[in-house]
Amino acid sequence: MTTAAACRAQQYPVLKVTRHCLFALACLFFVNASHADGEPLAIIANHSVTTLQLSRSEVRQIFTANKQYWPDGSKITVFVMDPRTSIHKNFCQQKLQMFPYQLERLWNQVTFSGQGSPPVKVSTHAELIQAVKSTPGAIGYAIAGESGDVQTIRVNNS
């Protein structure tokens, strides 16, 4: 057997193993990425917030830092999950009709122009709920039915 033929014979098992490993990693990625995909999300707020209903447009204004005060004059504190999480991606697409990178750009514009501050980022769903619960004027999002001891804000399609 020539050296080239022997080398090719040794490469085939390596290629098969590599292909199988890549396929397994891709499957794990898609299973993990779809955890919160399609799960309905709720807009949640601290009990100090007296606004119980918002339009879709108002939700977008709040989460893009274009609206920073509640109607009673109190400051809105926005909490979000890390932009790489599937819940955050789902929130951006489901509630804001934008991609996370677009929202991040808007936050950067507001922050660097001095017109506002970016939302507070938390690591987990439970942390987000706890942060909203313990911060007067806070708003965030949660998987519907898993929002804990905070109030849910009704969102109209207008």
* Residues 65-106 pLDDT 10s: 999 999 999 999 999 999 999 999 999 999 999 999 999 999
| Residues 6+ away with beta carbon under 8 Å from 152 | 42, 43, 44, 45
- Positions of the chain with pLDDT lower than 70, given as ranges: 1-38, 158
Q: What is the pTM of this model?
A: 0.74
Q: pLDDT value at position 21?
A: 45
* Residue given tokens 């999480």 in the structure block: 85
Q: pLDDT value at position 25?
A: 45
Q: pLDDT value at position 39?
A: 82
Q: Which residues of 104-137 are buried (b: 16+ CB within 10 A; e: fewer)?
A: eebbeebeeeeebebbebbeebeebbbbbbebeb
